[in-house]
Structure 1
Amino acid sequence: MEEEETIAVPVNDEDDPSSTLLDLTSYQLHDLDSVELPPSLTELDLTANRLSTLDPRIGNLSHLQKLSLRQNLISDAAVLPLSSWNALSSLEELVLRDNQFKNIPDVSVFKKLLVFDVAFNEISSLHGLSRVSDTLKELYVSKNEVAMIEEIEHFHQLQLLELGSNKLRVMENLQSLENLQELWLGRNRIKVVNLCGLKCIKKISLQSNRLTSMMGFDGCVALEELYLSHNDWKICGLMITK
């Protein structure tokens, strides 16, 4: 029986920052059995493979800061080991976009998380976000089946919230996001603008909703970009094409 081929990882001097990054994007891997995972890794990119399970060795990469599992075949059951990866408590960026999740995974073990991305899944509720670290600055949950904005009150450091292409009808529970600068809610079912008193927002996207009124933006003193196309402006006599 032929020995399975091992994917070569470039060997660099310890002082070379490139030795801490392993990019295996689009290798079409079904598992990582043939891959060496150096313990010095700070970034591991496994985007666009065929992974359906998590290699337990990843949980031992204590220096890891960025982990991308984007565009794989990982399910709710397969992602369960994440909750016990205590060695990765300093992870700052976790990308789980475009997999097969129906729920927000338990990532409470990551105490310094800054970026959390679960967009392009089949998530129907934000239940579980309450366990995500309050250090979070960017949250991506676009292109799911979410119907309600909830469990985000503790994200006082959040700067970007992406909830486009869901089933939202109401803008709510945003009042504690005092540092929010970007709010992306395009392609939902929202009828009324309610920014809950937030004043630091610089970018707002509400295109392709069901808005009939321009009311609700009065307190946005820092606003730089506003996207409102494809709403029900004809109902209130407005014609906005851009």
Structure 2
Amino acid sequence: MEVEDESSNSILDLTSYQLHDLEGIEFPSSLIELDLTANRLSTLDSRIGLLSQLKKLSLRQNLFDDDGIQLISQWTQLSGIQELVIRDNKLMKIPDVSIFKSLLVFDVSFNEISSLNGVSKVSSTLKELYVSKNNVTKIDELDHLHQLLILELGSNRLRIMEKIETLTNLQELWLGRNRIRTVNLCGLKCIRKISLQSNRLTSMTGFQDCVALEELYLSHNGISKMEGLSTLVNLRVLDVSSNKLTGVEGIENLTRLEDLWLNDNQIESLDGFDLAVAGSKDKLTTIYLEHNPCVEYCFWQVKSSNYKDTLRQFFPNIEQIDSDIFS
């Protein structure tokens, strides 16, 4: 089978060829990247294990189960691999990847993994770990990943934020669509992005020490009060839509805020709103307020969206209010 290769035989992209096996495919020994995304593979071709220069291997969206991927743990010649993607397969557990001593990116999202058991064997060089859309119930075995920058555990069955205090260099934490009730960030002072959307939070407290935080996503929870945000002076994006907020407060110090999502709450009045967001008056470019009682009242009683005119006057650099985009 002839397949077009790129970059002088250093990249081989076999995406969406619907291959059931790799018989007839030639693997140049100079391969650095091999992409087998969106095929019908269920077992590994042993020839891949001889590609000693390989740095990136994607097995995404295939039919690999635990037995079908097991051979990878014996590929000593691939010890220099840096990016391994086994996303969207049929794995029930974290595969043994301890042989890859320089691993930087490891993705096993969209499988059927119920535990992080096995992560303790992953190289401490790892910078990005993706285990979203699985059945994980507990955060553990991360203690040694001191260089980790991104941790994605969204769409699992987590109830508690725990055992992340050693991840002192973590910059992005994605925990959306879990069952978490309380924030526990153990003072992660380098973190810049946090997502806890679609959990069971009733309070915003717990972010106070995350002073480098730039983006905070808390939509679709049960939060009734804005609090604990005054120290987050670097915050640029705040999404608290689809909660139970009745007012806007505690964000006067957020002078760098650019995006503020407040839609789908229970905010009764815009009285004092200008004072609450005074700190970000010159920075704010996007604000969502639709589907709040205060906005519905303005529209039905006055038959206009005059609250938008008021907001445009107050925020000189506003570019978007709800679905309206201004040039």
TM-score with structure 2 setting the length:
0.69
Does 2:192 match 1:202?
yes
Partner of 2:167: 177
Structure with higher RCO (Cα < 8 A, 6+ apart):
1
Partner of 1:227: 217
Task: Give SS of 1:87's match.
Answer: helix
The CA deviation string for residues 59-97 of structure 1, in whole angstroms up to 9 with x for no partner, is: 000000000000000000011111110000000000000
Does 2:138 match 1:131?
no
Does 2:233 match 1:238?
no
Structure 2 CA distance, aligned partners of 1:238 and 1:82? 50
Task: Give SS of 1:77's match.
Answer: helix
Does 2:10 match 1:39?
no
1:122 partner letter:
E
Alignment match of 1:20 (pick from 7, 10, 22): 10
Partner of 1:7: 2
Structure 2 CA distance, aligned partners of 1:9 and 1:234? 57
1:117 partner letter:
D
CA displacement at 1:235 relative to structure 2: 8.9
The CA deviation string for residues 11-35 of structure 1, in whole angstroms up to 9 with x for no partner, is: x8xxxx4420000000000000021
Q: List 4+ stretches of structure 1 deviating above 4 A.
A: 234-237
Matches within 5 A, 1:36-185: 36-185=26-175
Task: Give SS of 2:197's match.
Answer: coil
Partner of 1:3: none
Structure 2 CA distance, aligned partners of 1:232 and 1:127? 32
1:197 partner letter:
G
Task: Give SS of 2:99's match.
Answer: coil
The 3 A distance-change label for structure 1 pair 200 and 116 is: same
Structure 1 CA distance, aligned partners of 2:60 and 2:183? 32
1:20 partner letter:
S
* C-alpha contact (below 8 Å) 1:9/1:36 kept by paired residues: no
* C-alpha contact (below 8 Å) 1:26/1:49 kept by paired residues: yes
Structure 1 CA distance, aligned partners of 2:245 and 2:134? 30
* C-alpha contact (below 8 Å) 2:195/2:218 kept by paired residues: yes
Structure 1 CA distance, aligned partners of 2:107 and 2:185? 23
Structure 2 CA distance, aligned partners of 1:202 and 1:127? 27
TM-score with structure 1 setting the length:
0.93
**Residue identity (%):** 66
Task: Point out where structure 2 has 5 or more consecutive residues left out of the alignment.
Answer: 227-243, 247-261, 264-287, 289-327
Task: Point out where structure 1 has 5 or more consecutive residues left out of the alignment.
Answer: 1-5
Structure 1 CA distance, aligned partners of 2:114 and 2:97? 18
Structure 1 CA distance, aligned partners of 2:104 and 2:224? 41
Task: Give SS of 2:184's match.
Answer: coil
CA displacement at 1:196 relative to structure 2: 1.2
Structure 1 CA distance, aligned partners of 2:136 and 2:213? 26
Partner of 1:192: 182
* C-alpha contact (below 8 Å) 2:60/2:86 kept by paired residues: yes
